[in-house]
């Protein structure tokens, strides 16, 4: 039987140190206890470093033990060589029969979008805009429209400094102190949002790592309880979806796409009128002083290509 070397200090906790003290044999029971104390994901290298498995024979024996733990349903593969995750068998019951289907969120959007789309607690709204298309204007109008909502509202800003933000909001009738909070934030929004409030994010920018946008949105969704997150994203001109494509739409209950002087509903999960399909509905508009919508009208497409 392979021995473990007690010269290494364990990182999992005192229990791991006690396991390896005295060069005990490497057994499945030792690894099961290590796994029980480990983070959700871990690598075989973590175990080797932690309990002192140094020889090729010991590492091969560990590999055999890990596959046995997988057969027992204790751990699962992750798709990455040598990296495992603990099986999560936690189930959270959803009391759906006690829920009120009429308990929708009372939110006010630009263009009266709430007239065709319903939103319930724990919702993600994506506002994808090409550069200079009015994404921030949409989000700030939403902020002001809902600043007295009893849920409370937080604005996470990565677009402007305090002076420019003051200038953009100065034409609105906002009391002092404002009935909302404004924070500077650039990433990991799920760490700070209040799960029961309205969170407006202007905007989520992961630079070249656009493939991480879907994960960030998913983390926010998991954090929400009764609240809602309105997330601004950058998109290429002429396309409906933001950088990150379908990953940005996976969790969205409502997806709005903005191009210069045009807004389009890409996806509405719950239409207000049962059986209706607002997907594709669009408006044209002008922005006065870069903030106020004027000349708003329904848009029905060009060259006989109808947009509902």
Q: What is the token pair recorded at 104? A: 């929708």
**More confidently predicted of 176 and 8:** 176
> pLDDT value at position 9?
39
The reply to whether 96-299 shares the fold of 14-86 is: no
pLDDT (mean) for 145-170: 94
> pLDDT value at position 159?
84
Domain ranges of the chain: 14-86, 96-299
Q: For residue range 64-115, list pLDDT tens digits in order.
A: 999 999 999 999 999 888 899 999 888 889 888 988 888 899 999 999 999 9
Q: Is the confidence at residue 160, as pLDDT, over 90?
A: no
Q: Please state which of the ranges 16-25, 159-168, 212-221 shows the lowest mean pLDDT.
A: 16-25
Band (pLDDT 50/70/90 cuts) for residue 35 is very high
The Cα 247–Cα 304 span in angstroms is 31
* Fold assignment, 96-299: Rossmann fold (3.40.50)
- Strand runs labelled E in the chain: 41-43, 75-77, 83-86, 123-129, 153-157, 181-184, 198-202, 228-234, 252-259, 262-268, 282-288, 292-299
Q: For residue range 200-252, list pLDDT tens digits in order.
A: 999 888 765 767 888 899 999 999 999 999 999 999 988 999 988 888 999 99
Dihedrals φ, ψ of 222, to 5°?
A: -65, -30
The Cα 138–Cα 167 span in angstroms is 16
Distances (CA, A) of 158 to 103, 184, 219, 229: 32, 6, 19, 16
Band (pLDDT 50/70/90 cuts) for residue 21 is very low
Is the pTM here over 0.75, yes or no?
yes
Is CATH 3.40.50 correct for 14-86? Answer: no
Q: Is the confidence at residue 176, as pLDDT, over 80?
A: yes
Supply the DSSP string of 169-236, one letter for each residue.
HTTS---SS-SSEEEE--S-GGGT--TTSEEEEE----TT-GGGHHHHHHHHHHH-SS-EEEEEEE--
Q: Is the confidence at residue 6, as pLDDT, over 60?
A: no
Mean pLDDT taken over the chain:
88
**More confidently predicted of 124 and 54:** 124
Q: Is the confidence at residue 47, as pLDDT, over 90?
A: yes
Q: For residue range 148-157, list pLDDT tens digits in order.
A: 999 999 999 9
């Amino acid at each position: 039987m392979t021995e473990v070397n007690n010269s290494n200090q364990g990182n999992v906790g005192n229990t791991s140190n006690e396991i390896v003290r005295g060069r005990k044999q490497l057994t499945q029971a030792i690894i099961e206890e290590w796994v029980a104390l480990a983070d959700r994901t871990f690598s075989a290298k973590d175990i080797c470093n932690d309990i002192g498995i140094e020889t090729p024979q010991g590492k091969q024996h560990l590999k055999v033990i890990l596959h046995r733990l997988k057969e027992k349903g204790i751990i699962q593969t992750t798709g990455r060589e040598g990296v495992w995750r603990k099986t999560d068998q936690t189930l959270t019951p959803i009391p759906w029969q006690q829920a009120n289907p009429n308990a929708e969120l009372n939110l006010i959007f630009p263009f009266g979008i709430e007239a065709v789309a319903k939103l319930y607690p724990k919702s993600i709204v994506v506002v994808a805009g090409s550069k200079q298309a009015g994404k921030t204007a949409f989000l700030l109008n939403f902020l002001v429209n809902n600043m007295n909502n009893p849920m409370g509202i937080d604005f996470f800003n990565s677009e402007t400094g305090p002076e420019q933000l003051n200038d953009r909001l100065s034409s609105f009738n906002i009391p002092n102190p404002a009935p909302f909070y404004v924070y500077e934030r650039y990433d990991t929004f799920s760490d700070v949002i209040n799960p029961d409030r309205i969170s407006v994010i202007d905007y989520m920018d992961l630079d070249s790592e656009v493939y991480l946008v879907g994960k960030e949105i998913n983390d926010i969704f998991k954090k929400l309880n009764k609240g809602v997150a309105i997330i601004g994203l950058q998109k290429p001109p002429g396309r409906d979806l933001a950088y990150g494509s379908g990953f940005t739409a996976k969790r969205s209950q409502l997806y709005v796409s903005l191009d210069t002087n045009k807004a389009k509903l890409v996806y509405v999960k719950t239409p207000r009128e049962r059986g209706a399909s607002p997907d594709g509905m669009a408006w044209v508009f002008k922005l006065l002083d870069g903030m106020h919508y004027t000349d708003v009208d329904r848009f029905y497409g060009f060259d006989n290509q109808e947009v509902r």
